[in-house]
Every structure is written in C-alpha cells, then in structure tokens.
Structure 1
C-alpha cells in the first residue's frame, strides 16, 4: 500500500508540470504581496534582529539575500532570517482550517530555493501554491491543535522539492524527516495542552520549522531516511483527509489576511471596542470596565494586562484593547517597541475581563468572534457579535493589500521604497521575478529610513 507521505511525494512530483490556473496564480500573488508587507514592516523587531546575528554566527557567508538589510547568508541563514522578519509582527497570513500561518514559513523558503535553482516566476508561484496545499492539508488533518511549526515544514518541503525536481522517493523521505524533526515536539505526543500560550519570539516555531524542513530535504537527497508511516498514525491524523482531493482544494485561496499586528484571537475584540468607542463617543479616560465574551482559543492566550516585552503584547487581549483605546487602530499597524510597558495602557488593560460565551464557543474554530461590553460614564454599551477583518469569506482587494503594505511599512520604508516594492510585486504578476529579487537585496529598510 502507498502511505500518506508517499502520496504527498507523488502529488508534488506530478505538480511540476501542471499549469497554474488563473485563480491559483492570483492567490499566490496576493500571498506574496502580503508576505512582503509583513517582512518589510517586521525588519526592526527584536526577534529578527537576534536571528540575523545568530544566522551570521552559525551559517556564515553565502549569496542568498537577507531581505531589506543588504546582507547575505547561506540558504539556511536566509530562510531563517527572512521567515523571522515575516512572522515578527503577527501580520502574516493565516489559515482557519489548519489554525496557523503558512505564508511566513513557505514563501521565504520558496524564494530562497527559487534563487538557488534559477526558477522562473511561474515556477515560484506554482511551488508556493503546492506548498500551501500540502502544509495546510497536514495541519488540518491533525486530531488535536498543533502550533504552526509542527506542520508548516511539510509545506516547505513541498515547495522546495518541487522547485528542485526532487525524485518522489527522496521527497517522501524529506517529508518524513521534516515531520520527525519539526519544532515543538511536545504536541507530537498528544499530551495535555499548556495552560497558556506565551507570546515569544519563537512564534510557534515558524521560522525554525523552515530551517528543519530545508535541512530535511538536503538530508534526504543525500541518503538520510525518516519514519515514512508518520502521517498514517490514526491517533494523530485523519490520514485520508490529507490526500483525498489533494491539488483540487486550492487552500491558498482560502487564507485570511491580517490588518492588525497581533494574534488573530485579538482582532475581533479590537474591532468591536473601536466600533463602540466611535459609535458612542466614548473617551478612553471614561472607561470603567470592558468585558470580552469570547471562545476557548482566545482565553488560552496569556492575556496579561502587563505583558512582558514587545512580542507578548501581540498575545494580550487586555493590553491591546488598552493600547487602541488610547492611541487608536494605527498603534497596531505596525506595533512598535514604543508601546512596551506603558503604565497608562496597563491601567485600562486591568479593567478588561474575559469570559467564555457558549454561543461564540460553538462557532469556533470555524469563526473567531466576540462580543464586547463597555461601561463608561455610568452607561453600558454592548457590541454586536463581531468578527475580524480580512477573512477568506470576505477577502480584501489587491488595492487593500497594497494599502496595508504602505501603512504597515510607514516607519521602515520611504514612499519611494514602498513604490519600488509594489512595482516589483506587480512585475512578478507580469511574469518577471527579477525586480522583486533585486529589491530584497538592494533595499535597506528600518528605523530612520522613513520620514519622521
């Protein structure tokens, strides 16, 4: 019998010669545009800064660009550093079915390998589509929640293996090695969940999963083997769901896009609070209490009113509500270190309470909804049940994604640099990969680049 991993390998190998549909190509381009915005705005965050230093020390010199820095590294160093920048601000795309973030892992790796093999624009886009198809399929088929790094490596192997033309036998071994060596191994054993998900620069193991996956492909190409039955363990995976319909689901067209620099669980409460404040002319200093009715996934965040450091802000509903109450939506696009440990924000965050709502819980994880109640100046205001912006059911337009890039990078890029990035993505849309590849290396972004 052919196992699930062998079926994945056969699908990827055959997909090399399958033309991209117009819908698939457009979806891949949208994902690339969104990923460029995430990486260009995240370049100054603490996590990527640390990764760039570590990559230089561990991986040394090479000819692959560390995006927007002018630096270069080895293939692994570039994959690691660019994935870290893309994941840093939590505005990379996500997928409701897999409950995670495929783009920050798959797209930087695909660009690096495309450069290594001299791939065309359409080869690159095809690899990204296939990477999403495989990665999301594995993530969605798990019988219990797993952080993105546990399944995104399958998507990286698929994208890289397609670009390199890796034979099916070696590709199967690469999937097996990547699955066995993925980060965050605790939940490979289906053990009890951690009581709270801390917000750290590890970011669900997303950047590191790409390093282990690219390494797995190189190991397999040189004779290393892995556990080929890994995805056929019934207690861990609904294996049939991984391969049934593979290639026809077009998962990349079903991603959601983020317009706030915080965990997806935070988005709906922020939107509901801002709507209430605008609709009832509520001033931040008049707020007496905020109650957030939500679902179990949102309540599993740390949700500290006084988050410890920059990245943990992204995983605190109370702090993000205090932040936008005082400084508006723009404080979360992009989030900056200027908002770390601000006592006036903590004061409002301590007025926030979270509670599980059975009706909202019944609609999770298919939907991430909330209801917010604000008590202010002796009055009580209750929002409608609210969802986040950018869902696959109401996807943003290309123009909205372009505007997201401009807003998100306003502190790291000048208007001229933004124009160049958008022009380079448009060139990719027309079949020319060169301008974007050049922009990744030649543009130097970061604090001090954009006008004050």
Structure 2
C-alpha cells in the first residue's frame, strides 16, 4: 500500500509555492474571520484565563501574540492559549465529513508562527489551506469509529497544527513528513473529557496547537519520526479506529480536487454541532406555524448517533453541560429566540422559563439518520402543541453546512456579534477588513472587558 503520510506530506509541502486561487484564498480568509469570531469571546472566560495565569511565568520572549492577555509570547505559548480560547464558546468551524474542528489548532499554530517569523498573509493563507486539507483527509480515514472514544479535534488537530506550522516554516516534503509523524504520536483527546464535568475540552485544541508547533519545529531542526505511524499495524489509525484506516477514501482526489477548506461548516449556533439540525428544524416550524414557548407541550427529536449519545442531557448544571444538551438548547431557542453566547450566562442557566420546557424535550436514535452520518447531519422533529396540533418536520441539513452555507454577510454579522463586545466596534471593524482583504498579519488587540479568572 502507498504510504499515506508521504502523500500527505508531499501535498502539504507543495503549498509553499502552489498557485493560490482567489476562490481558495477567499475561503481561507473566511476561516480566519470565523476563528477570530470564536476566539475573542473565549479570551474572557475559563479555562483560557485560568491557564494564562497559571502559565504566566512560562511565557518567555517571542514575536507571537497571545490574545488572551494581549501580550507578546513565544510561538508555543501563544498557539496553546489562543487555541484554547477559540474552543471555549463552541462557535468554531467544522469539517462536516470528518467531524473535525480544524480552525482552532490549525490557525492558532500557523498565526503564532507567522507572527513570530514575520511571514506574510499569503503564507498564512497557504498554511491554513494545507492544515485543513491534511487534517480533514486523515479524519476521513478514521471516522466514524474514531469518534466513539476520541475527540478528533484533539487528535487529528495535532497534525493540522504541525502541517500549518510546517508551511509557515517552509519545510520541504521530507521534513514535513517527519513533522506529521511526530505530531501523530503526540495526539490526544478523550470523549469522556466533555461528557462530564470539567474544563478539559478546550484544552484539546490547545494541546493540539502546541504539540503540532513542537513537531514542526522539531522537524525543522532535523528530528525524525516514524514515517509509517499513520497506517502501521500499531500506528495512529489502528490505535484510534476500527482498522488501519480507510486510506483510499482519504487520498482520493488529493491535489486534483477543490481543497476541503472550500466546504467548511461555519456555526450558526453557539453549542455542539450535533444539536444544530434540531434547532434549525424548530426554527423552521416556528416560522411556519408561529408558536411560542408557552404553546409547546412536547418536542421529540430523532437524530443520528452523537445527537443521542452526546447531546441527550435532560439535566444540566454547568455552561459546558448546557452547550451539549439538546434539551437545554431547544428550550433556550424557544425562550430567547436564538442560541448564542448570551444563552449560557449564569442567569440563563437558572432561567425558570427555560427550565420549565426542558422536561418536554426528548431524543431518540433514528436508524436512517444514523446510517447517513457523518456525511449528513439531519433531524426529524415532532412538536406537539398545547392545542393538540402535532407538527412534523424533517431537517435534512444544518445552516452553515456546505449545502446551506453562511454567506459572507452572515459570517461578518457573526464576527461583529462576537468580537465587538470584546474589543469594541472600531477595532473589530478594522480587524474584519484586514482579515477579508488585507495583506498584513493581524496584530495586538486590547480587550475591553476584564477577563473572568474564575
């Protein structure tokens, strides 16, 4: 069998000089806009704030920017903290077919390296395209079985970060291969970390970004890795999925087709993506029938595997639990009209109107939808109203997915909504302009709101 790591490394290294079309560059810029939108509010919340304080003495000198506190830092320090912040409010992007959140580790690592090394926006965009492509394709090789025990953003995200860093560093194909090989053996992130209490989940992309940077820097210095680590009998795929990987699927069209970054999902709700189809379906029914929260007697959602396994949470007590509870998010949507950052404040978590609706929401596994996952993320809804009417709806996709994408205007509105409260309107607008059509790298940003350290 052809070595998939070598193929992927050759592809990634070629992005140093490969033609970057206007279309692909535009999609890479959209990814940057979305990453900053998700990252900035996370800078004000744990665990990013707690980790920044805990690591203050480890900062070191460097030209990268840690947005959590606005200070200069070394590449690994900035990549770690910025990636943690990017995953806190659950608004970061998704590669639908693999379930990977590529932006957090890929962009945090590439941007920190680019800032420290004085690279151009063009180089940053190339690095992001390559990181998304390699990570998404490795995800295709190991899913869906990988997701039973592993958080793919923590595992495959480590390789995304190594690739994006390697492109900024200018690694040739040989050294890029060793960067990927070393990153693969440092990958981690367990599902159990976000099925219970704790703040570990945002640490997954944080660790992935830092470890990926380390792997690429090591490779740039001549450190070698095991080049059969992805597909070997006790390698990455064998250890984290049902077999040694579906590499024919993963490598199909590599370098010949449109890059994966052109088909990324940008979130339209601030919660777990496995809840989105249900929320979009409720929105569609509300628009068609005009009911309010007091009119709902029951809501039943039939979903695919993770919708039931991860998001069927009738009881919640923390912000993290609420972001992964279909019962909470559906109820918040009915009461608040949307599931955004404000839906997860302490006041909303205790809101009696939301709490009153939650017991009326149930979830089951729909075998047909489960069979179509992960390539399709759908939901079947049955809403029973207090007047006895029963409304049914099939939601075939999610707003923000490649077949129902956010427009540039939608994405800009999301950015402003999330960024303006953190940095103010003029700096947010200036950053948006830079990200969408500027040639310089983003610099420091002063946070308006004080960080919440606990």
TM-score by length of 1: 0.88
Q: Deviation digits for residues 336-380 of structure 1, max 9, x if unmatched?
A: 444234444233112211112233233322111112222232323
- SS of the aligned residue for 2:82 comes to helix
Once the two structures are overlaid, the 10-residue window that deviates more, 144-153 or 236-245, is 236-245
Residue equivalent to 1:294: 303
Is the CA contact 1:334–1:409 (under 8 Å) kept in the aligned structure 2? no
Residue equivalent to 1:217: 216
Residue equivalent to 2:179: 174
Alpha-carbon offset, residue 410 of structure 1: 4.8
Q: Does 1:150 align with 2:151?
A: no
Residue equivalent to 1:32: 32
Is the CA contact 2:106–2:209 (under 8 Å) kept in the aligned structure 1? yes
Is the CA contact 1:306–1:346 (under 8 Å) kept in the aligned structure 2? no
- SS of the aligned residue for 1:209 comes to helix
Alpha-carbon offset, residue 45 of structure 1: 2.6
Residue equivalent to 1:86: 86
Distance 1:163 1:402, change over 3 A: same
Size of the alignment, in residue pairs? Answer: 434
Distance 1:293 1:49, change over 3 A: same
**Residues of 2 paired with 1:174 and 1:75: CA distance?**
16
Q: Which runs of 5+ in 1 are unaligned?
A: 187-192
Is the CA contact 1:107–1:128 (under 8 Å) kept in the aligned structure 2? yes
* Alignment of structure 1 residues 272-311 onto 2, 5 Å: 272-311=281-320
**Residues of 2 paired with 1:5 and 1:257: CA distance?**
28
**Residues of 2 paired with 1:365 and 1:213: CA distance?**
26
Is the CA contact 1:89–1:334 (under 8 Å) kept in the aligned structure 2? no
Is the CA contact 2:154–2:188 (under 8 Å) kept in the aligned structure 1? yes
Q: Deviation digits for residues 255-278 of structure 1, max 9, x if unmatched?
A: 111111001111121222233334
Residue equivalent to 1:202: 200
The CA RMSD measured in Å over matched residues stands at: 2.5
Alpha-carbon offset, residue 168 of structure 1: 3.1
Q: Deviation digits for residues 295-324 of structure 1, max 9, x if unmatched?
A: 112111153233231122111100111112
- SS of the aligned residue for 1:111 comes to helix
- SS of the aligned residue for 2:127 comes to helix
Distance 1:4 1:77, change over 3 A: same
Q: Deviation digits for residues 234-258 of structure 1, max 9, x if unmatched?
A: 7231233444432233000011111
**Residues of 2 paired with 1:364 and 1:389: CA distance?**
16
Residue equivalent to 2:440: 433
Alpha-carbon offset, residue 331 of structure 1: 4.4
**Residues of 2 paired with 1:224 and 1:323: CA distance?**
50
Distance 1:90 1:138, change over 3 A: same
Residue equivalent to 1:165: 170
Residue equivalent to 1:189: none
**Residues of 2 paired with 1:56 and 1:330: CA distance?**
34
Q: Deviation digits for residues 206-254 of structure 1, max 9, x if unmatched?
A: 2211111111222333443333211123723123344443223300001
Once the two structures are overlaid, the 10-residue window that deviates more, 282-291 or 124-133, is 282-291
Alpha-carbon offset, residue 61 of structure 1: 4.8
Residue equivalent to 1:424: 434
Alpha-carbon offset, residue 175 of structure 1: 1.1
Alpha-carbon offset, residue 126 of structure 1: 0.9
Alpha-carbon offset, residue 30 of structure 1: 1.0
Distance 1:196 1:82, change over 3 A: closer
Once the two structures are overlaid, the 10-residue window that deviates more, 140-149 or 20-29, is 140-149
Q: Does 1:271 align with 2:294?
A: no
Distance 1:14 1:414, change over 3 A: closer
Q: Does 1:379 align with 2:369?
A: no
**Residues of 2 paired with 1:49 and 1:176: CA distance?**
32
Is the CA contact 1:43–1:445 (under 8 Å) kept in the aligned structure 2? no
Q: Which runs of 5+ in 2 are unaligned?
A: 233-237
Residue from 238, 241, 266 that aligns with 2:246: 238
Is the CA contact 2:299–2:362 (under 8 Å) kept in the aligned structure 1? yes
Residue from 260, 271, 292 that aligns with 1:262: 271
Is the CA contact 2:194–2:201 (under 8 Å) kept in the aligned structure 1? no
Q: Deviation digits for residues 377-413 of structure 1, max 9, x if unmatched?
A: 2323324211321111232221111111122335334
**Residues of 1 paired with 2:11 and 2:88: CA distance?**
32
Q: Does 1:125 align with 2:125?
A: yes
Distance 1:330 1:113, change over 3 A: same
Q: Does 1:20 align with 2:20?
A: yes
Is the CA contact 2:193–2:200 (under 8 Å) kept in the aligned structure 1? no
**Residues of 2 paired with 1:259 and 1:351: CA distance?**
24
- SS of the aligned residue for 2:43 comes to coil
